[in-house]
Amino acid sequence: MARHGTTRAHRGTGAQLTMDSLLAYARRQDRADGLAHLRTRFVGADTELVYFDGNSLGRPPVAAIERVERFMREEWGGRLIRGWDESWLQLPYEIGDRIGRAVIEAKAGQTVIGDSTTVLLYKLARAAVDAQVARDPQRREIVVDRDNFPTDRYVLEGIAHETGCRLRWIDVDLERGVTPEQLAEVAGPHTALVVVNHVSYRSAYLADAPELTRIAHDAGALILWDLCHSAGSVPVHADRWEFDLAVGCTYKYLNGGPGSPAFAYVRDDLQQALRQPIQGWFGTADLFAMGPEYVPAPGIRRFVSGTSPITAMIAMQETLAMIEDVGMAAIRAKSIALTEYAIELADQWLAPLGVVVGSPRDAEERGGHVILQHDAMREVTARLWQRDVIPDYRDVGGLRVGLAPLSTSFEEVHRGLDATREVLREVLAERAGLG
Ligand SMILES: *Cc1c(COP(=O)(O)O)cnc(C)c1O
């Protein structure tokens, strides 16, 4: 099954590596890497620090420093309130459309930069559930898996509480995520909404988005995709896969900066049918009419609530320009090569120490990070941070190696996993000594 248009390229890495030194391989990959020049465009990429957390908070693009400063001096400082006249009001939709075009393949008018992912999830999920229950009072179930990202689960619990709907939980294998078989088993005439993470934040399992969407639709349900861990790392075809709704982060692979606002996608023919729950003046048909009551704007604008966080959406534009330049296919190819290499190093260096790769080995089922399981990983992560090697830790026993394709080099992967091996040996030696 050829999913997501990816191929099984990079198979056979292992055979190649046994004939070659692992470091020489990394250097050769870096020389051949068509995206290598982009690494120099990120703050700190020229230092010895190893960054394995670009999937949690991307590095700042160097050009964003100047862009933010220029914005503050010229636009905020120079234009003051006049800035809202045209350009700032349009910016959330302009950037939204760029994300639509370059990152998630959605035609214009369906994507907007809004609030945090959590708030957008709430707004879209609540709008979807309300519309479904109004259409058919039997549809009172929200399907979600137990390993879905915490904020998604909490938001949906809240919506269930508010609306009297029920959560229908899918138990997933922690090394994977929701499979088509599992969704087909629970989706039916009672399903209002299905919420799925495209890439699992823990295992990196890449859900079969077109297939799960089809299954939800066959059951008469709407589906909301959380693209936080795929946007900017794994190609998404929102229109072609017939998504209804989606949200995604901009501070992970899109390098928008800590707390930069998320994006929302709402399929155009659904927009008029949905009414989101946080009705504010920025989502009304005529913002400055200050009218007596709320009249939702036509189109995607009705999903906006209050004043758009303009300052916080400046930096992400640098990464969008890079993605527009090189395309998601090249980014995905490098992402696969990076994760394949990390898995190879883990197999050769860490497996003998008891580490288990907790991410899918098939690149077609894996997003942009790799999780390495061992009960010492909490301690290992803490010690690595002190040595300027920055992965993160996810319970239970998972060291997460996030590999942002635009800013990570193969040699960096080599350095980071070499340090991981050293620190893990150290921790295990101490344990043995204590034993
Ligand atoms: C990072 C992440 C979020 C974050 O939500 P915020 O509102 O930005 O804190 C949500 N969902 C997933 C799947 C994530 O990976």
Atom from ligand 1 closest to the CA of residue 226 = 13
- The structure tokens 């090569």 sit at 337
DSSP letters for 280-300: -GGGBSSGGG--SS--BPSGG
197 CA: nearest ligand 1 atom: 13
Q: What is the rounded average pLDDT of the residues 77-106?
A: 96
What proportion of the chain, given as a percentage, has pLDDT over 70? 95
Quote the Cα angle for 74-83-113, to 5°.
105
253 lines ligand 1 (CB under 6 A): no
* pLDDT value of position 4: 43
Ligand 1 site, residue 344, Cβ cutoff 6 A: no
Amino acid at 388: D
Is the minimum distance from the CB of 403 to ligand 1 under 6 angstroms? no
DSSP string, 366-404: B-SEEEEE-TTHHHHHHHHHHTTEE-EEETTTEEEEE--
Active site residues: 149, 226, 251-252, 400
What residue's CA is closest to ligand 1, atom 6?
A: 117
CATH topology of domain 19-60+327-428: Aspartate Aminotransferase, domain 1 (3.90.1150)
Whether 369 lines ligand 1, by a CB cut-off of 6 Å, is no
pLDDT digits 0-9 by tens, 323-377: 999 999 999 999 999 999 999 999 999 999 999 999 999 999 999 999 999 999 9
Mean pLDDT over 423-434 rounds to 94
Nearest-CA residue for ligand 1 atom 2 is 228
At 369, phi and psi to the nearest 5? -135, 170
Atom 15 of ligand 1, residue of closest alpha carbon: 228
Q: Domain extents for the chain?
A: 19-60+327-428, 65-314
Residue in 55, 121, 196, 228 to alter for ligand 1 test, most ligand atoms within 8 A of Cβ:
228
Task: State the average pLDDT over residues 90-119.
Answer: 98
Cα–Cα distance between 237 and 230 in angstroms, integer? 11
pLDDT > 90: percent of the chain: 92
Supply the CATH classification number for the domain 65-314: 3.40.640.10
117 Cα nearest atom in ligand 1: 7
pLDDT tens per residue, range 193-228:
999 999 999 999 999 999 999 999 999 999 999 999
Q: Is the CB of 201 under 6 A from ligand 1?
A: yes
